[in-house]
Amino acid sequence: MSRVRSGYVRPIDFKHGRVDMTHGSGGRAMAQLIEELFLSEFDNEWLRAGNDSARIAMPAGRLVVATDSHVVSPLFFPGGDIGSLAVHGTINDVAMSGAAPLYLAATFVLEEGFPLADLKRIVASMAAASHAAGVPVVTGDTKVVEQGKGDGVFITTTGIGVVPEGIDIAGDRARPGDAILVSGTLGDHGVAIMSLRENLSFETTIESDSAALHGLVAAMVGAVPAIHCLRDPTRGGLATTLNELARQSGCGMVIRERDLPVKREVAAACEFLGLDPLYVANEGKLVAVAPAADAQRLLAAMRDHPLGRYAAIVGEAIEDPMHFVQMETSFGGRRNVDWLTGEQLPRIC
């Protein structure tokens, strides 16, 4: 005779199961998903408390908040996935103001039919990134949309952090004469993604550079508190970020092509596809603008850190009412480095 086990709930089948509408409906299925997946992976006191919000102590200093949505395709790529990207991306946005990131919130919009195995893999990756960075995911939300209305999964992360006194890092603080530095090789992430896109695939060992930069930023700010600007050159690449900073700050910029760090494989992949590494996305790099007198000290601090090993001084800000970003080509001529037009597409011509 069979006996009913009281309180028995069949565990979620993460191997073969798929997201369905009940997982977003607020009922038992959703509670189970939260418990068996999100709670189990992120595992911290705030989530364990089981409330709709997280209560945190007010830190001393000025608060910084940043948010980002992540819609990358493909979801999994060499060097990361949408989960780790979501954690690193928002930690970096917070860190670019010189702030120490403290907490993250994460929301998931799941498409009906999305494999639970993939979801588990993504959440596990997020948890690993969050733990490694020391920035917990303290609250979140899940919704499910009908099949066809979402690209598998969309993740939004929001981060808060705190800026120490005496630090004033913003996009409008670049001044003529300032040195421009980058923390490492350009274009790795974008090429890693492209190498997986249907019809563009090539065999390559390039991995995304997705990384949390707050440790590097702390080291940099410690060495040079007078840093003027920090920004991470994500979509649109270094070129777009420099144009943004130039416009916000009301100055021009000149960079030197021969000083830009680019991996050989990345350069080669860009040649194949007719892309310019200056416009290819990075997810673990930053641009710094600092007073010229501090440039060498800042460079040394960056190179001392594992994420800044290939840091380089690449140019300087100049007076320019047109706010152009120009480049001295390795060939000896000069050219504009303009804003990116739409999405950079491969070309055959």
The β-bridge relationship of strands 179-182 and 76-77 is: unpaired
Rounded Cα gap, residues 12 and 49, in angstroms: 22
The helix (run of H) or strand (run of E) holding residue 190 is helix 188-194
Which region among 23-31, 62-70, 79-87, 339-347 touches another protein (by CB under 8 A)?
A: 339-347
The β-bridge relationship of strands 100-111 and 179-182 is: unpaired
- Least distance in Å: CB of 176 to another protein? 7
Select from 202, 219, 248, 250 the one that contacts another protein (CB under 8 A): 202
160, burial (CB in 10 Å: exposed 0-12, middle 13-18, buried 19+): buried
Site string for another protein, 90-129 (x = CB under 8 A): ----------------------------------------
Nearer to another protein, 58 or 348 (CB): 348
Burial 236-260 (b: 16+ CB within 10 A, else e): bbbbbbbbbbbebbebbbbbbbeeb
**Residue 148 in the binding site for another protein (CB under 8 A):** no
Are 173 and 228 spatial neighbours (Cβ–Cβ below 8 Å)? yes
Let me know the angle formed at the C-alpha of 89 by 342 and 237, rounded to the nearest 5 degrees. 35
Nearer to another protein, 11 or 321 (CB): 321
Nearer to another protein, 8 or 331 (CB): 331
Rounded Cα gap, residues 32 and 10, in angstroms: 10
Kindly calculate the radius of gyration of the chain based on its CA atoms and give it in whole angstroms: 22
Let me know the angle formed at the C-alpha of 213 by 67 and 346, rounded to the nearest 5 degrees. 75
- Least distance in Å: CB of 145 to another protein? 18
Site size for another protein, by CB under 8 A? 45
Nearer to another protein, 28 or 334 (CB): 334
**Residue 349 in the binding site for another protein (CB under 8 A):** yes
- Least distance in Å: CB of 335 to another protein? 4
**Residue 331 in the binding site for another protein (CB under 8 A):** yes
Site string for another protein, 160-179 (x = CB under 8 A): ----------------x---
Which residues are CB-neighbours of 75 under 8 A, at least 6 positions away?
81, 82, 118, 122, 152, 153
Q: Which of the residues 295 through 324 are near another protein (CB under 8 A)?
A: 318-322, 324
Q: Which of the residues 224 through 283 are near another protein (CB under 8 A)?
A: 252, 254, 258, 264-265, 267-269, 271-274
Nearer to another protein, 54 or 267 (CB): 267
- Least distance in Å: CB of 291 to another protein? 17
Are 87 and 212 spatial neighbours (Cβ–Cβ below 8 Å)? yes
Are 192 and 126 spatial neighbours (Cβ–Cβ below 8 Å)? no
Beta partners for 313? 181
Which region among 6-14, 192-200, 224-232, 304-312 touches another protein (by CB under 8 A)?
A: 192-200
- Least distance in Å: CB of 317 to another protein? 10
- Least distance in Å: CB of 200 to another protein? 5
Q: Which residues bind another protein (CB under 8 A)?
A: 176, 198-200, 202-206, 252, 254, 258, 264-265, 267-269, 271-274, 318-322, 324, 326, 328-336, 338, 341-342, 345-349
